[in-house]
Structure 1
Amino acid sequence: METNDRLNPASPDTPKGRGKDSSERRCILTGEPAPRTGLIRLALGPEGQVAADWSERLPGRGAWITADRTLFDTVAAKGRLRGALARAFKGNGFSLPDDLGDRIAAGLQQRLLARLGLEKRSGTLILGGDRVREALAKGKVFAVLHAADARPDGSDRIDGMARAVGESLGEDIPHRRVPIARDALSAALGRENVVHMALVDEGAATRVLADLDRLAGFCGDKPADDVKSAEDWAAGATEVALPLRERH
């Protein structure tokens, strides 16, 4: 029998508004507290080099920054980044890569691709316009995603259907463009011509949209100029490991 998460009570193991993602940290660039889902943790590697801590588990002091590339570049350009990090790390014994912003952007892209791969293997991400429309018609979709280079006519049709279905359910079904082109999505997901996608599980939609918001916040909505090839992505996929608690 087919199931629909909207008709089933939430699992007691995953209460809304609880857990790590609902906690807040203070951004060292703005001084303002914000949910961890909108922040990026920086930490020191074994050789004292500043790097993004995607697992949020590396030992030692961490420094949290807002996922905002314009803010990051402005602070770095004014020479205030090192000082902010020195205060967070309680010392100056670290090296700051000149291309840290680019490394963070690449890591965010890899993390989203890895996340989509996990959800696909778990059966919570479906691919293809026909399957997305079919799932929408059954009220089973919690978020719709399109490749950055998706044709407007195809994505607009699906988005219109998502809005209509959402209205009938009395809720919003997010529909977003991913700032990654179809070639990179296809390479990461092992499927040719990945353009339209849908998340058919509420928890999966929350996880993916959180990673998408970070990527869009730091890199903008346009696809990066240096989107990885299939070989490059496969070689670097292990560089951004997802927390063990999120593996399926």
Structure 2
Amino acid sequence: MMTMMSRPERQSKRAQHAGTRTCAGCHERVPRDAVARELVHLVFVPSDADAGEMGVVVDLLGRGRRPGRGAWVHARRGCLERAAAKGLSRAAKTRVVADAAVLAEQIVAQADRRTTSLLASAQRAGKLAVGATAVSEARGAVMLLVAVDAAAAAKLPAVVAAHRDGRAVAWGDKQRLGEALGRNEVAIAAILDDGLAEAIHHAIGLAQSFHGGPSHGGACRGGSVDD
């Protein structure tokens, strides 16, 4: 026999869940202060195929501010696949046409664009040291970005120390890192601000969650940088 909750019990349950977001894949509730770190926002959009169906797009760059109803999902392939299969339709209370692989591609692309944007912000704010000499002489480097094809830079004492402390991340090749910083090629850069470093690390990690290639980021290890 089903047990009915009393009104105070229902109010208590609502209060307990207030300020949380639920993953549409695994249904785990995430506290609001952890949402930005753990979840990706998806927004429902009208589907061209059928007026009775909805589509869905990633809203990583909007950080949850894109208009329209939406859902949240963990930055995990399994959660994204379960959400695409059933969870998003349940959240929207209508059929949602979703392809987990397409959504994963959108997450990677938007995370990479966010990384590039944050690097530009760090550069404008004077919170970035670029090149082996500048990085070696920098004081207060919070995180180092090393191009995956920068073998010499990976052997610098500053990089070795940062890797040992978990502060070195591989991202892009020299050309890609250079393009992000308005230069031809860049082998290494240091982030000198805690907040920017945390945001960049999160964006790179988010892309890495859905892409196995080192060009999309990852811990900087001796074997991950090519000669």
TM-score (norm 2): 0.70
| Relative contact order higher in (CA < 8 Å, ≥ 6 apart) | 1
Q: Note if contact 1:177-1:221 (Cα within 8 Å) is conserved in structure 2.
A: no
- The CA distance in 2 between the partners of 1:199 and 1:147, in whole Å, is 14
Q: Which residue of 1 aligns with 2:131?
A: 128
- 1:167-220 superposed Cα distances (whole Å, 9 cap, x missing partner): xxxxx5611112x22222222221121120111111211221121221222223
SS for the counterpart of 1:96 is coil
CA deviation after TM superposition for structure 1 residue 112, in Å: 1.3
Q: Point out where structure 2 has 5 or more consecutive residues left out of the alignment.
A: 1-18, 48-53, 217-227
Q: Which residue of 2 aligns with 1:87?
A: 90
Q: Which residue of 2 aligns with 1:68?
A: 76
Percent identity (aligned): 28
Q: Note if contact 2:176-2:185 (Cα within 8 Å) is conserved in structure 1.
A: no
**Once superposed, what is the RMSD of the aligned Cα atoms?**
2.6
Greater Rg by CA: 2
Change (3 A) 1:72 1:189: farther
- 1:125-144 superposed Cα distances (whole Å, 9 cap, x missing partner): 22111101101xx3x11111
- The CA distance in 2 between the partners of 1:219 and 1:61, in whole Å, is 27
TM-score (norm 1): 0.65
In the TM superposition, structure 1's runs of 4+ consecutive aligned residues that sit over 6 Å from their partners are none
Q: Which of residues 208, 214, 219 is equivalent to 2:206?
A: 214
Superposition pairs of residues 154-173 of structure 1, within 5 angstroms? 154-157=153-156, 158-162=158-162, 172=165
- The CA distance in 1 between the partners of 2:144 and 2:150, in whole Å, is 13
Q: Point out where structure 1 has 5 or more consecutive residues left out of the alignment.
A: 1-22, 165-171, 225-248
Superposition pairs of residues 25-174 of structure 1, within 5 angstroms? 25-34=21-30, 35-36=34-35, 37-45=37-45, 48-54=54-60, 55=62, 56-69=64-77, 71=78, 75=81, 81-92=84-95, 94-96=96-98, 99-135=102-138, 138=139, 140-151=140-151, 153-157=152-156, 158-162=158-162, 172=165, 174=167
Larger fraction in strand: 2
Aligned pair count? Answer: 184
